[in-house]
């Protein structure tokens, strides 16, 4: 296990809730389930894990429970986000003894710093921990796009090891793959663009949709690695609609509905301001689950 090398299929694990509380039973069940799937790493308390709704004690419990199941078997990254460099440095110090291998850290949200500000933000955080850091560039959530030139400067720092790329600019993503150093990983976080990102040289994906049909997502990358391009494209044509379905309403609500229907978690509950899936989408997901069962 090499936490400094992020590649393959990674899962930003959902956080199960029940009656307003962290559902540790479902969390253990889910963690064990995905250990049996072709998942190369796991991220906790990130966007898909509703990390912004977790208080400090809940995040610590989430990490402890999940790590008890998976630590040492696949890498665990902790998702972090914030807009105050000082507070983020304190969070790194506070979590220094937690059983995680590395961090996934989003660009500062809402404040929209300059490229110089973004560089100094991540450089400051990298200087406060020996753990690897993957940068999370998602402009449509944070309000700021981390330019490739800035990211490549950050890649020169020893423990900045990769990026979860959600810039949604395929030219920017392709140019980054072309220019990045060999030790720096580019992982797409855009589920519906997974196939295209792989064909352009991305190292893998951090995909919320891979909570379902996990093996099928992993198989597409393996086919491309072995040069089986036509079967990979055919497989992707059958899978891309699943990714689109699971983002038809704000994530992770549709994913939780699917996992609940599949019996993996005991409740589809999300925390406000997230809302349960609509009846129309629930019916579509239920239909897709039945089709997947028949095809299995």
Helix (H, G, I), strand (E, B) or coil at 49: coil
Residue 71 and residue 101: Cα distance in Å, rounded? Answer: 9
Choice among 136, 140, 195, 256 that is catalytic:
136
Catalytic residue list contains 103: no
Q: For residue 273, count CB atoms less than 10 angstroms from its CB and return exposed for 0-12, middle for 13-18, buried for 19 or more.
A: exposed
Strands (E), the chain: 8-12, 17-18, 21-22, 41-44, 76-80, 102-106, 133-137, 160-165, 185-188, 204-206
Handedness of CA 27, 74, 109, 127 (dihedral sign): positive
Choice among 164, 195, 229, 256 that is catalytic:
164
Question: How open is the CA angle 11-244-74, to the nearest 5 degrees?
Answer: 10
Catalytic residue list contains 87: no
Q: Which residues pair with 79 in a beta bridge?
A: 104
Catalytic residues: 136, 164
């Amino acid at each position: 296990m090499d936490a400094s090398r992020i590649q393959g299929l990674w899962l930003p694990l959902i956080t199960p809730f029940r009656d307003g509380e962290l559902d540790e039973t479902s969390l253990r069940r889910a963690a064990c389930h995905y250990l049996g799937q072709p998942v190369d790493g796991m991220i906790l308390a990130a966007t898909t894990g509703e990390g912004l709704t977790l208080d400090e004690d809940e995040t610590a419990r989430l990490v402890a429970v999940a790590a008890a199941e998976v630590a040492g078997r696949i890498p665990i990254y902790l998702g972090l986000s914030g807009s105050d460099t000082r507070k983020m440095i304190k969070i790194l110090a506070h979590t220094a003894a937690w059983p995680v291998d590395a961090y996934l850290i989003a660009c500062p949200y809402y404040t929209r710093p300059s490229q110089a500000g973004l560089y100094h933000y991540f450089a400051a955080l990298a200087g406060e921990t020996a753990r690897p850091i993957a940068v999370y560039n998602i402009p449509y959530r944070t309000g700021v796009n981390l330019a490739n030139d800035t990211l490549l400067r950050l890649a020169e720092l020893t423990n900045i090891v990769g990026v979860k790329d959600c810039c949604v600019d395929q030219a920017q993503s392709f140019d980054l793959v072309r220019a990045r150093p060999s030790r720096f990983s580019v992982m797409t976080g855009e589920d519906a663009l997974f196939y295209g990102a792989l064909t352009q040289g991305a190292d893998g994906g951090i995909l919320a949709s891979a909570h379902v049909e996990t093996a099928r997502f992993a198989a597409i990358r393996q086919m491309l690695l072995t040069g089986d391009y036509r079967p990979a494209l055919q497989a992707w044509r059958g899978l891309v609609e699943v990714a689109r379905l699971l983002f038809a309403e704000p994530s992770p609500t549709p994913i939780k509905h699917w996992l609940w229907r599949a019996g993996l978690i005991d409740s589809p509950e999300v925390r406000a301001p997230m809302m349960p899936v609509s009846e129309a989408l629930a019916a579509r997901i239920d239909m897709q689950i039945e089709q997947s069962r028949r095809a299995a």
